Structure 1
Amino acid sequence: MIFVAYMVLGAIAGMLAGLFGIGGGIIVVPVLVLAFNLQGINPEIVFYMAIATSLANIIFTSLSAIRTHHKKAAIEWYLVKPIAVGMLGGSFIGVNTALTIPAIYLQASFGAFAIFLSLRMMFSQLGAGTLHLPGTLGLGVAGALIGWVSVLFGIGGGNLLVTWLSNRQLVIQKAVATASACGFAIAISGAGSNAILGWGNPMLPPHSLGYIYLPALLGIVSTSFVAAAYGSMLAHQLSPQLLKRLFAWMLLLMGLRMLISVWF
């Protein structure tokens, strides 16, 4: 039964990954925290496992989304390289930072951060195609900061990157597509680091690869890969204004859900 639940979660996360370019972590992490608690996994490592498993899943959802967005010629590849390189460095630092912070503080920060992003999206102007972006160095620094923060919360970076690019007047569909490509860098670095740093932890349940819980990953990936492709196609059928509004509301609901789970 729990494996079926992971499959359903994967389908939802994959659809959102393709639709919003977010990797699905903002959905996967809180649900995995709940599922791992119900399975009786040691609460001291539950959030770390949720983050690691989410990042591993993002490897697959981002690949599927990249393929679909690339066919639509929506990915701004000249932005991907400097941002992705910065993300690789920032995400490695983020993994080490996350393991030094109590899980409850990470959960609360995750919720507050999602709400902040949603409000920024709601009140920012819709991108009109006139870019206001820094040079290569500035893009790399932005990528490093986004990578660091994103790995703290087990997300693919799309939440931050879509908001950042959209606020700088990149059309929302292109921001989503570009974020999908950049999120792959965070996923590889973050998942690999979590697998290494969690290796041999006696609190981990069987069938774990470091902090990555393989049964959950298998269930999620089995449906998320296909769902991400459909989400990517849907993103190009919606109006930019509607897509941006949906993105903001999705962030707000997930942020509130995570804060409520901390308090209650």
Structure 2
Amino acid sequence: MTYLLLALFGGLSGITTVLFGFGGGFVVVPVLYGVLTSGAGGSLAEAAAMHVAVATSTCVMIVNASLSTRRSARAGTLLSAWLWPLAGFIAVGSCVGALAAGFVTGSALRVAFIVYLAITIIDCLGRRGFVSRTVEGEPRRPGRWATGPGGIVIGAIATFLGVGGSVMTVPLLRRCGLSMTQATAMANPLSLPVALIGTLTYMLAGTMSVSKLGVGYIGYVNLIAFAVLTCGAWFGMRLAARWVGRIPDQLHARVYVGLLVVVMLSMVVA
């Protein structure tokens, strides 16, 4: 039953990766945290549930974001000139966030995740430019401050929480004048530095931990959960591909915010 649940939510993560650029973190972290805290992974895994959920999430994100990036490149929805140097600054920030995550408890990580979501939801609804586009004419590339310091902050927070950074890159690109289809497509390649650095860090941190989680883990990454979630995600991405570009822009933005609310509430009651 646990594996079926993970497969179903893996499929949902694939859908959200393609349509919303989430990469899987906002779906995988809450469900895997819930599974582990129910005792399904053993006492050690339950004690480190949030770290395992975040680590496995970043590992799933590598596959999801890579496959979605490939699909977007073929479809021509990526603006390659916008990816660099923003992706480089996000990578730098990812190193900072990965180091910081090793100094906090699972409870603190969970609270940070919830607070981060709440702030993002309020920002999307409260500021102009997200739900409806306000930029006239051609989209403008992010400025120097948004690219440099902004990219570092995005990478640090995203890796610290294991969420890929799409909740910051999508609103940023949206306010630069991109459609939701373009902004969500761009979020996936920008999430790859976070996924790669986050996964490596959590693997090393778990391996060096005094209380190692044992067989079926590389560091904090649960390999069985990773495999099941990834298989489910592959089917979800194939299902969602037919809807890319067909959802009205404003509805796309509203559903994006609605999904953030659902994920936040699921973590509050977990």
Quick one: distance in 1 between partners of 2:212 and 2:228?
Answer: 22
- Which consecutive unaligned segments of at least 5 residues does structure 2 have? none
SS in 1 for 2:110: helix
Amino acid at match of 2:178: L
Q: How does 1:34-49 map to 2 (within 5 A)?
A: 34-38=34-38, 39=40, 40-42=42-44, 43-49=46-52
| Alignment check: 8 A CA contact 2:206 2:212 kept | no
Quick one: distance in 2 between partners of 1:228 and 1:65?
Answer: 8
Give the aligned partner of residue 243 of structure 1: 252
SS in 1 for 2:85: helix
Q: Is 98-107 or 25-34 further displaced after alignment? A: 98-107
Q: CA-to-partner distance for each residue in 1:112-147, whole Å, 9 max, x for gaps?
A: 211221232234332245435444574133221111
Give the aligned partner of residue 179 of structure 2: 171
Give the aligned partner of residue 103 of structure 1: 106
Give the aligned partner of residue 87 of structure 1: 90
Give the aligned partner of residue 131 of structure 1: 139
Give the aligned partner of residue 190 of structure 1: 198
Amino acid at match of 2:103: T
SS in 2 for 1:22: coil
Quick one: distance in 2 between partners of 1:92 and 1:227?
Answer: 30
Give the aligned partner of residue 56 of structure 2: 53
SS in 2 for 1:199: helix
Q: How does 1:10-25 map to 2 (within 5 A)?
A: 10-25=10-25
Using the TM superposition, give the Cα deviation of residue 60 of structure 1 relative to its aligned residue in structure 2, in angstroms. Answer: 0.6
Q: CA-to-partner distance for each residue in 1:14-62, whole Å, 9 max, x for gaps?
A: 1111110111101110111111122134343111111010000001111
Match of 2:226 among 208, 214, 217: 217
Q: Is 228-237 or 96-105 further displaced after alignment? A: 228-237
Quick one: distance in 2 between partners of 1:63 and 1:27?
Answer: 17
Using the TM superposition, give the Cα deviation of residue 81 of structure 1 relative to its aligned residue in structure 2, in angstroms. Answer: 1.9
| Alignment check: 8 A CA contact 1:25 1:55 kept | yes
Matched, 1:162 2:156: no
Q: Is 233-242 or 44-53 further displaced after alignment? A: 233-242
TM-score, with normalisation over the residues of structure 2?
A: 0.90
Matched, 1:117 2:120: yes
- Shift in CA distance, 229/182, structure 1 to aligned 2, threshold 3 Å: farther
Quick one: distance in 2 between partners of 1:182 and 1:232?
Answer: 19
- Shift in CA distance, 67/230, structure 1 to aligned 2, threshold 3 Å: farther
SS in 2 for 1:92: helix
- Shift in CA distance, 252/130, structure 1 to aligned 2, threshold 3 Å: farther
Using the TM superposition, give the Cα deviation of residue 250 of structure 1 relative to its aligned residue in structure 2, in angstroms. Answer: 0.5
Using the TM superposition, give the Cα deviation of residue 63 of structure 1 relative to its aligned residue in structure 2, in angstroms. Answer: 1.4
| Alignment check: 8 A CA contact 1:88 1:189 kept | yes
| Alignment check: 8 A CA contact 1:121 1:245 kept | no
Amino acid at match of 1:73: G
Quick one: distance in 1 between partners of 2:3 and 2:142?
Answer: 45
Match of 1:67 among 70, 94, 98: 70
Q: CA RMSD in A?
A: 1.8
Quick one: distance in 2 between partners of 1:116 and 1:130?
Answer: 29
Quick one: distance in 2 between partners of 1:184 and 1:46?
Answer: 23
SS in 1 for 2:48: helix
- Which consecutive unaligned segments of at least 5 residues does structure 1 have? none
- Shift in CA distance, 54/153, structure 1 to aligned 2, threshold 3 Å: same
Percent sequence identity over aligned pairs: 23
Quick one: distance in 1 between partners of 2:241 and 2:93?
Answer: 26
Using the TM superposition, give the Cα deviation of residue 108 of structure 1 relative to its aligned residue in structure 2, in angstroms. Answer: 1.5
TM-score, with normalisation over the residues of structure 1?
A: 0.92
